[in-house]
Structure 1
């Protein structure tokens, strides 16, 4: 049998944390290996427990979720953790920072349990979790403040078609929507996405979205 996905839950609200733990532990393929209420403890526990996924709140004492995510999953980390950020709409100004810090995706705290469980399983596989509509609202809303000052397209290694796919990813489109927009198959879209990530040395679609906004590829 496949070993259960090991999850570390980090949230400073005890009731929220307890609810998350209860939902996760009720699944036969998931296992909560630890829980904590601040980012520093999450970093410490992750080093010893080696969770497959860290469920991370953003606003916490001692060390906030953004800095904890950077320490767990950021560039240059020898064994990066997969971090799934759980946030609320009134904290959406922090989401972009969390994605830049290396988070594999984010969910809203009022998401139904099924969506939470799907998110954990998705991130555990190494895939990114970006809900298209939430991406449009959160990343798009803050595009102006994260726009870079340098020219953006002259030195990109991407072909024009790959740039087109990248822009659609950054617009929040899922693979099937990109396929419909460009009149190509979903398998072809997957191939383009893989090439984009490889050429840009990016880990997943989350980083691709961040790259597109940082490079000014999305208007």
Structure 2
């Protein structure tokens, strides 16, 4: 099994060194020196504020790999902004054990994500606002999703990765990726958790 390439970004070099050391000890992972070479990026910050959100946005523009965010303080109101910056998992710093961090990185590499319940609930509320204020005026119907997209998103919400979805639906992995790309592009959704949240709020899954 190929190891997941992971890079670490943080506000200070001590945090970078500590996380890199932790990740290097896991046989499933390879710590890449350059974020551009990574499958997943671990982004650590003591608290998520306007400056950190700006750094996340800039980082996402430069490298599109999914991010695992490790932080002590996170305002639920910022969850949509984080998701739009490729954040697919949020881990409280106090509970980010080596195993939990590794599991989150591996899941992110497979297209899955993990959000604390309070953040997921807030994300659904914000996507609901997006749908009512932005999508509906454009003339889209209640979900704006095809049957194929609903099938893929339902399995994604169940925690399946691309390969598992392809096997379940008898599609190629390329077809699954194209379906996901199509729905995220058409509905201005930035990544997979965002698409799943939209489908849930629209009542499609």
Same fold, TM-score > 0.5, yes or no: yes
Secondary structure in 1 matching 2:75: helix
Gapped regions of structure 1 (runs ≥ 5): 35-44, 177-184
Secondary structure in 2 matching 1:27: coil
Q: TM-score, normalised by structure 2?
A: 0.62
Residue 7 of structure 1: aligned partner: 7
Match runs of 1:169-184 below 5 Å:
172-175=157-160
Q: What are the Cα deviations for residues 157-183 of structure 1, in whole angstroms up to 9, with x where unaligned?
A: 6324634764x579x54349xxxxxxx
Q: TM-score, normalised by structure 1?
A: 0.59
Gapped regions of structure 2 (runs ≥ 5): none
Kindly indicate which of the two structures has a greater share of residues assigned to helix.
2
Bigger relative contact order, structure 1 or 2, given CA contacts below 8 A and separation 6+?
Answer: 2
Q: CA offset at residue 136 of structure 1?
A: 3.8
Tell me, in whole angstroms, the C-alpha distance in 2 between the residues paired with 1:189 and 1:95: 34
Q: Choose the corresponding residue for 2:97, options 104, 108, 112.
A: 112
Tell me, in whole angstroms, the C-alpha distance in 1 between the residues paired with 2:51 and 2:73: 21
RMSD of Structure 2 on Structure 1 (CA): 4.5
* More divergent stretch after superposition (3-12 vs 112-121): 3-12
Tell me, in whole angstroms, the C-alpha distance in 1 between the residues paired with 2:145 and 2:103: 32
The count of corresponding residues between Structure 1 and Structure 2 is 189
Asked whether the 8 Å contact 2:90–2:116 carries over to 1, the reply is no
Tell me, in whole angstroms, the C-alpha distance in 2 between the residues paired with 1:198 and 1:139: 20
Does residue 188 (structure 1) correspond to residue 169 (structure 2)? The answer is yes
Asked whether the 8 Å contact 1:169–1:205 carries over to 2, the reply is no
Secondary structure in 2 matching 1:57: strand
Q: CA offset at residue 117 of structure 1?
A: 0.7
Q: Mark the CA change 1:218 to 1:198 in structure 2 (over 3 Å): closer, same or farther.
A: same
Q: Choose the corresponding residue for 2:195, options 192, 208, 214.
A: 208
Tell me, in whole angstroms, the C-alpha distance in 2 between the residues paired with 1:140 and 1:211: 7
Tell me, in whole angstroms, the C-alpha distance in 2 between the residues paired with 1:27 and 1:51: 16
Q: What are the Cα deviations for residues 44-68 of structure 1, in whole angstroms up to 9, with x where unaligned?
A: x646xx444321135468941x222
Asked whether the 8 Å contact 2:124–2:197 carries over to 1, the reply is no
Match runs of 1:56-205 below 5 Å:
56-57=43-44, 59=47, 63-64=51-52, 66-74=53-61, 80-88=64-72, 90-103=74-87, 105-109=88-92, 110-123=95-108, 125=109, 127-131=110-114, 134=117, 136-149=120-133, 150-151=135-136, 153-154=140-141, 158-160=145-147, 162-163=149-150, 166=153, 168=154, 172-175=157-160, 187-188=168-169, 194=177, 196-202=179-185, 204-205=191-192
